[in-house]
């Protein structure tokens, strides 16, 4: 018998094994794979039907206007182009559902602070004609989401765009992108039904409340409230903050003042002119030796730049940027916050203001320039914010001012002489410009004292001259703010007589040397 060498035996064994493997592979090729267990997801259609939510696009409704030339918030679910890419989304699968896009304050300080980043571009701006407010399409903001809430939102089809940690107001804001095919309003309703603890809100748009002057007066606003030079020193080093557009820090009225600025607008966005912010700053902290002296020139001002230029060429600030600005103001221990802006009610913004009010911050806001029949303007209409309307030198209400039961107090705001970029000065009118007058009075009255917790208690202590019908009314609120006799609340006095105002000579615009 022929003996087979051992190495040949090994080769034959390998060949037989390979044949067996090929046979098994072909035999099992036609067998169906076991079906993967589906991931349980909330029944969106059932929830939508129960809520009566219409998922049609915003721009398909007659009450909706897209204020951009590009495609509106359509049913396709994309707010950029239709390539379904994720270049502006933080759609990772980490446990917390997103990347931090904020280094606590999120601003670009004038002393070299870093930029926050946006976690993706904002959606187009949609204007709701029925409700009379504007918001970013395909964007919902929610606060303090738990990991469980993030997982539930993802299962509903939402995607995380960005997160902003605002430690000073103890808030984490998450930007969510609605499910594909669902409009923004429907997405908000769905979240409120399925994850109510998220307090979902639209990323509302807010506008500056000012206009060009129509009169020929100058510094009458100081005389009409009986302001004097002694009071200017009362607010020395008091920390006053503003949420506004940019400021021309090189203006002769502001040069050398205690002024710190920070920007909370995404880099690359167009910026509005600095007229409004410069005017507000000059009314508060303008140099005494300038042609537009402020009421409290010794105060320390912290100016949060939160406005950008939208697609229509208007100044706009969204809710998230306002929150970042408030967070920065709180970090800098600002006591008084001047908000010469207006927009719709927003629960997230309201919660932040309430939280900061409880910590001793005082908010003063413009009542709005929508006219007597306009809807209430926010944040002025919140109960813990002092709402300021405007009057002229004859103590008549500004014709474009909002009216309503939320109006707290009136201030001079028609034809105020203010600084303007480029070494200029201009007359300006609006509830925007009455607001810093009230802010200045509060600053000199409460420079050292901690005010009472209730805003209404605080207003009761203010020196006020009643205007219009006796008592509080929807036009003037409690009446015209008056200057205190001296620093502090103890020596504040109420003025009950009208003041005769001399009319200065005609001047429309002045160029500084």
Per DSSP, 236 falls in state T
C-alpha 305, offset from chain centre: 10
Contact 488, 449 (CB under 8 A): yes
- For 367-383, letters b (16+ CB in 10 Å) and e give bbbbeeebebbbbbbbe
Six-digit token pair at 322?
A: 């306002």
Task: Locate the DSSP E strands across 46-123.
Answer: 64-66, 108-109
- Is the distance from CB of 186 to CB of 156 less than 8 angstroms? no
Rounded Cα distance, 235 and 258, in Å? 12
pLDDT for 12 equals: 63
Q: Which two tokens stand for residue 463?
A: 């020196």
- Side-chain half-sphere CA neighbours of 455 within 13 A: 24
User: C-alpha dihedral over 212, 215, 219, 224, to 10 degrees?
Assistant: -120
Q: Are 128 and 135 in contact (CB under 8 A)?
A: yes
Token pair 């009379």: residue: 132
Residue 33 φ/ψ, nearest 5 degrees: -75, 150
Tens digit of pLDDT at every position of the chain (513 positions): 444 555 665 666 667 666 666 555 555 444 444 444 444 444 555 555 554 555 555 544 444 444 443 333 333 333 333 333 333 333 333 333 333 344 344 454 443 333 333 345 666 778 776 777 888 888 999 989 999 999 999 999 999 999 999 988 888 999 999 999 898 999 999 998 988 888 899 988 887 765 433 334 456 788 889 888 788 888 889 999 999 999 999 998 999 999 999 999 988 889 999 999 999 999 999 988 888 889 999 999 999 999 999 888 899 999 999 999 999 999 999 999 999 999 999 999 999 999 999 999 999 999 999 999 999 999 999 999 999 999 999 999 999 999 999 999 999 999 999 999 988 888 899 999 999 999 999 999 886 666 655 788 888 888 999 999 999 999 999 999 999 887 876 454 444 444 444 433 333 333 333
List the domain boundaries for the chain: 44-199, 208-511
User: In residues, how long is the chain?
Assistant: 513
- Sequence-ordered list of residues with C-beta below 8 angstroms from that of 154, at least 6 positions apart, any chain: 97, 160
**In whole angstroms, what is the distance from residue 290 CA to residue 283 CA?**
12
Tell me which DSSP letter residue 56 carries: S
Of 304, 308, 302, 303, the closest CA to residue 265 belongs to 308
pLDDT of residue 397: 96
Quick one: 46 exposed, middle or buried, by C-beta within 10 A (0-12, 13-18, 19+)?
Answer: exposed
- Give dist(CA 182, CA 406) in Å, integer: 35
Phi/psi region, residue 130 (left: phi>0; alpha: psi -120 to 50; beta: rest), is: alpha
The class level of CATH for 208-511 reads alpha beta
Predicted pLDDT of residue 43: 54
Three-state DSSP class for 450?
Answer: coil
Phi first, then psi: give them for residue 441, nearest 5 degrees: -60, -45
Whether the bond between 348 and the residue before it is cis, its omega within 30 degrees of 0, is no
Token pair 């408030």: residue: 326
> Which residue is it, tokens 């997103």?
98
9 phi and psi, to 5 degrees? -60, -45
Q: Are 166 and 172 in contact (CB under 8 A)?
A: yes
Cα dihedral 38→39→45→48 (10° resolution): 170
Tell me how far apart the terminal alpha carbons of the chain are, to the nearest angstrom: 122
């Amino acid at each position: 018998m022929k003996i087979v060498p051992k190495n040949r035996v090994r080769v034959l064994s390998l060949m037989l094994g390979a044949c067996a493997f090929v046979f098994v592979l072909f035999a099992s090729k036609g067998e169906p794979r076991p079906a993967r267990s589906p991931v349980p997801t909330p029944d969106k259609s059932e929830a939508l039907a129960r809520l009566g939510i219409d998922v049609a696009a915003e721009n398909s409704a007659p009450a909706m206007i897209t204020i951009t030339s590009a495609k509106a918030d359509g049913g396709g679910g994309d707010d950029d182009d239709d390539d379904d890419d994720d270049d502006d989304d933080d759609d990772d699968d980490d446990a917390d559902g997103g990347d931090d896009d904020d280094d606590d304050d999120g601003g670009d300080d004038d002393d070299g602070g870093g930029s926050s980043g946006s976690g993706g571009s904002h959606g187009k701006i949609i204007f709701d004609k029925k409700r009379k407010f504007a918001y970013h399409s395909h964007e919902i903001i929610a606060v303090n989401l738990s990991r469980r809430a993030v997982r539930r939102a993802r299962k509903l089809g939402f995607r995380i765009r960005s997160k902003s940690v605002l430690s000073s107001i103890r808030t984490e804001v998450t930007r969510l992108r609605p499910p594909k095919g669902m409009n923004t309003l429907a997405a908000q309703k769905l979240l409120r039904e399925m994850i109510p603890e998220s307090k979902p809100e639209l990323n509302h748009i807010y506008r500056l409340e000012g206009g060009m002057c129509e009169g020929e007066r100058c510094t009458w606003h100081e005389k009409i409230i009986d302001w004097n030079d002694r009071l200017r020193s009362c607010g020395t080093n008091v920390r006053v903050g503003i949420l506004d557009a940019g400021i021309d820090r090189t203006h002769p009225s502001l040069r050398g003042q205690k002024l710190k600025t920070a920007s909370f607008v995404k880099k690359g966005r167009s910026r509005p002119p600095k007229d409004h912010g410069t005017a507000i700053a000059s009314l508060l902290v303008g140099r005494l030796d300038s042609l537009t002296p402020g009421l409290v020139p010794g105060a320390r001002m912290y100016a949060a730049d939160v406005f950008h230029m939208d697609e229509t060429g208007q100044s706009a600030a969204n809710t998230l940027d306002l929150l970042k600005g408030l967070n920065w103001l709180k970090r800098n221990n600002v006591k008084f916050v001047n908000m010469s802006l207006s927009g719709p009610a927003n629960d997230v913004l309201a919660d932040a203001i309430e939280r900061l009010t409880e910590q001793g911050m005082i908010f003063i806001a413009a009542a709005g320039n929508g006219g007597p029949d306009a809807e209430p303007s926010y944040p002025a209409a919140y109960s813990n914010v002092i709402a300021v309307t405007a009057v002229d030198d004859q103590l008549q209400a500004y014709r474009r001012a909002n009216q309503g039961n939320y109006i707290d107090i009136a201030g001079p705001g028609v034809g105020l002489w203010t600084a303007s970029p480029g070494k200029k000065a201009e007359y300006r009118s609006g509830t925007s410009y009455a607001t810093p007058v009230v802010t200045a009075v509060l600053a000199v009255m409460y420079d050292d004292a901690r005010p009472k917790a209730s805003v209404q208690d605080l207003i009761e202590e203010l020196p006020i001259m009643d205007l219009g019908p006796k008592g509080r009314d929807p036009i003037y609120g409690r009446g015209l703010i008056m200057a205190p006799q001296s620093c502090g609340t103890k020596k504040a006095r109420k003025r009950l007589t009208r003041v005769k105002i001399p009319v200065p000579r005609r001047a429309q615009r002045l160029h500084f040397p």
